[in-house]
Structure 1
Amino acid sequence: MRTEIRLAGFGGQGIARAGYMLGKAVAVGDGNEAVFTQEYGPESRGGASAANIVVSDEPIDEPFVALPDILVAMYQAAFDKYAPKIAADARVVIDSDLVEPHDLPEGAEVLTIPATRIAEELGVKIAANVVMLGFLAAVADDIVSAESLRDAVRGGVPARVLDRNLEAFERGHRHGFERDDRGGDGDA
């Protein structure tokens, strides 16, 4: 089983950190093979940024993401850049306050969460990436376990903001189970 995942946003959203934590969770926590790469523009903040993770239960010969099975878009320009290059049946996870999906393959599944709004409600806007990881633990539990991802967050954020990041993770995870297509209200 090979799964390609791309997290995309802009510099300053913690995309690379989220990708690293996701890769660590699937490899160290869940015992799969994983490769993590990143893309970014010349700007340190505000430029395009992407984290690419290849997950497999076998050794990974080709470490690059070509057609992601999961695209996480946390910024409209990132969605516009990467959405045309996804698998026909991809799961497309978007920050619903920042991204308006369009022109997706017919078989794509769109999953939404107001990740930035939830992080702002918690007083840590920068933790929107961790809200998104919590959401992924619910909607992609066939790829990564919540326990492993939670452990990766514990080891991946500074101690001074750990409690708020764990709360961000839990809010995202809970939202994944409360969304409309699972019978909940879908709003945080």
Structure 2
Amino acid sequence: MAERYEIRFSGAGGQGLITAGIILAEAASIVEGKSAVQSQSYGPEARGGASKSEVIISDGPIDYPKATIVDACLAMTQVACDKYANGIKPGGLLLLDEDFVPNVPEGDFKVVRVPIMRTAQEEIGRAIVANVVALGAMIALTGVVAKESGLKAVLSRVPEAFKDLNEKAYNLGFEKVKAAMA
């Protein structure tokens, strides 16, 4: 049976986490040639309501396109954490935005806390790239695709004028998680 890895990005609508999931799926499938599927769910509110994006990556065919036992979950808000940080497998990973998720749920998983939104706002100067910071962080945390593959997928999606900004965001997210895990 092929190895199946399930990742869930969750936060508020408008934070770009569905796009982050799509980019991760592209890094796995287009750049690395693995099987990948991405799905999304969000409330009736276009902005502000809880939303999630799930990515399943496998070396072989994917028989079911929804996450069932999550290997790694990102929660950018407390509401998203309360709603979507369930179903993480024993020994799994939970990445939290340390400024927006004060209450850590109980569970048999490793918790890593990183200032994702603050990094985007203060170190890059643009909150809009928080999803790319989060993507870099999740790739560093999981190792599900190579760092270079994730960056290649990010850069293939952004206009030329924003490539440097997004590369900086991606690398900062990656570095923040590596430092938090050290």
- Place the TM-score, normalised by the shorter chain, in its bin: over 0.9
Structure 1 residue runs of 5 or longer lacking an equivalent are: 183-188
Question: How many Å separate the matches in 2 of 1:113 and 1:158?
Answer: 27
**Counterpart contact for 1:83–1:104, Cα < 8 Å:** no
Question: How many Å separate the matches in 1 of 2:50 and 2:169?
Answer: 24
Q: Which runs of 4+ in 1 moved over 4 A?
A: none
What is the TM-score when the length of structure 2 is the normalising length? 0.93
**1:69-88 correspondence runs (5 A):** 69-88=71-90
What is the TM-score when the length of structure 1 is the normalising length? 0.90
- TM-superposed deviation, 1:101: 4.2
Match of 1:168 in 2: 169
Number of residue pairs aligned between Structure 1 and Structure 2:
179
- TM-superposed deviation, 1:164: 1.0
**Counterpart contact for 2:120–2:129, Cα < 8 Å:** yes
SS in 1 for 2:133: helix
Match of 1:185 in 2: none
- TM-superposed deviation, 1:48: 1.4
Give the CA RMSD over aligned residues: 1.3
Question: How many Å separate the matches in 2 of 1:157 and 1:16?
Answer: 15
Structure 2 residue runs of 5 or longer lacking an equivalent are: none
Amino acid at match of 2:173: G
Structure with more strand by fraction: 2
Question: How many Å separate the matches in 1 of 2:114 and 2:84?
Answer: 19
Match of 2:99 in 1: 97
**1:30-109 correspondence runs (5 A):** 30-106=32-108, 108-109=109-110
